Amino acid sequence: MLYDDAFLAVLERGLREALPLWGLAPDTPCRLLTVSENATFLVEPPGRRVVMRVQRPGYNSEAEIRSELAWLAALRDGDVVPTPASIPLADGAPLAGSDAGGTRMLIACFEFMPGLPPDETGDLVAWFATLGEMTARLHDHARRWTPPAGFVRRVWDWQSCIGPDADWGDWRCGIGLGPEGRAVLERAVAHLRERTNTYGRDAARWGLIHADMKPANLLAEGSRLGVIDFDDCGMGWFMFDFAASVSGLECDPRLGALQASWLEGHRRAAPVAPEDEAILPALVLLRRIQLTAWTAGHSETPLGQSAGAGFTAGTVDLAERYLSEHG
């Protein structure tokens, strides 16, 4: 477990040491908001609130974070999607470094965006139409945008998601995965490799994506839907953004309705080719297998704590259904 109480205390100490770089006092009130890939804190100087993200050591490099912030700034400049601005240091630098406790950490600061994640037990289907339209605008911008020199982000493909050296770990380590389930997933993983290779990476299908627009990374206020946490943005299939948006909902009986609503919203802003719609079930399964590996290695996170063997069993069931229809 990386984010135990002792390590979180080290991160908070490093954060407090860095606060003066933004012109904030080290004793400014702050509290932990959430732990996922990174640790996120709410910092409350007098009369305002900002969000500080302390990067998971070794996950993204400084160049990768600078690239993320460059895309975020371009999206805001173009009024593409509602998303909070990053806040530079007093000297204009985009992020800070700290070596508290002997741990090198990178820290970014963002405006606080009001709102709450759409209620997954409520009318999530309706929100997915808004999300689909917003995603289409995001992809249109990505196709037209020229990244700055030195832009680098990770790649989300079969190899990095569920291959032998996947970025988020080995799905074979899924909690409670037995021999029969492993055999099912082996077949599914092999099929997905062939399926995604056939689908290909032409410019209409592949480009810069958010890669994590699940409900927890959306903020609804009134009719406005904002998107946060571009930490996983990278190169991938555009339709992978739908798969990421249903993370943890792959076995939900509303999945078909969520997909239909997302596609309806997407078509308000951009067409969806038949081949792109057809790839969605494969990418949903690919993402679910990827998450099965992630939950096994992130037991300290809310998803990791709630997943357990039941999550892995759901992945096997989803793979069996997929293979019966597409294998």
Which residues are within 8 A (CB) of 253 and not within 5 positions of it... i.e. 6 or more apart?
none
Quick one: tokens of 307?
Answer: 């997943």
CA distance 43 to 107: 13
CA distance 224 to 219: 8
For Cα atoms 213, 207, 132, give the angle at the middle one, nearest 5 degrees.
35
Residue with tokens 């690239």: 67
Mean pLDDT of 215-231: 96
**What pLDDT score was predicted for residue 120?**
80
pLDDT digits (tens, 9 = 90+) for 148-171: 999 999 999 999 999 999 999 999
Strand partners, 41: 32, 52
CA 15 to chain centre: 23
CA distance 236 to 201: 8
The residue among 136, 148, 132 whose CA lies nearest residue 73 is 148
Question: 306 falls in which pLDDT band (50, 70, 90)?
Answer: low
The residue among 192, 194, 175 whose CA lies nearest residue 311 is 175
Task: Give the residue with greater pLDDT, 98 vs 266.
Answer: 266
Quick one: tokens of 57?
Answer: 């050591």
pLDDT digits (tens, 9 = 90+) for 258-273: 999 999 999 999 999 9
Cα–Cα separations (whole angstroms), residue 200 to 19, 207, 239, 275? 45, 12, 12, 11
Give, to the nearest 10 degrees, the angle between helix 280-297 and helix 302-326.
Answer: 150
Spell out where 100-244 has E strands: 105-111, 155-156, 206-209, 218-221, 224-227, 234-237
CA distance 28 to 20: 10
**What pLDDT score was predicted for residue 321?**
98
Question: 252 falls in which pLDDT band (50, 70, 90)?
Answer: very high
**What pLDDT score was predicted for residue 300?**
56
pLDDT digits (tens, 9 = 90+) for 239-250: 999 999 999 999
Question: 5 falls in which pLDDT band (50, 70, 90)?
Answer: confident
CA distance 140 to 270: 8
Residue 203 clears pLDDT 70, i.e. is over it: yes
Question: 2 falls in which pLDDT band (50, 70, 90)?
Answer: low
End-to-end Cα, the chain, rounded Å: 37
**What pLDDT score was predicted for residue 217?**
96
Asked if residues 188 and 323 have their Cβ atoms less than 8 Å apart, the reply is yes
Mean pLDDT of 291-310: 76
Domains of the chain with bracketed CATH:
5-111 (3.30.200.20), 124-326 (3.90.1200.10)
* SS3 state of residue 15: helix
Q: pLDDT averaged over the chain?
A: 94
Handedness of CA 157, 158, 159, 160 (dihedral sign): positive
CA distance 298 to 293: 9
**What pLDDT score was predicted for residue 290?**
98
Strands 155-156 and 234-237: parallel
**What pLDDT score was predicted for residue 128?**
98
Q: Which of 118-122, 284-288, 302-306 has the highest mean pLDDT?
A: 284-288
CA distance 94 to 102: 22
DSSP run (H or E) holding 306: helix 302-326
pLDDT digits (tens, 9 = 90+) for 280-289: 999 999 999 9
**What pLDDT score was predicted for residue 302?**
60
Question: 4 falls in which pLDDT band (50, 70, 90)?
Answer: confident
Residue 175 clears pLDDT 70, i.e. is over it: yes
**What pLDDT score was predicted for residue 189?**
98
Asked if residues 30 and 52 have their Cβ atoms less than 8 Å apart, the reply is yes
CA distance 31 to 12: 9
Spell out where 36-89 has E strands: 39-43, 50-54
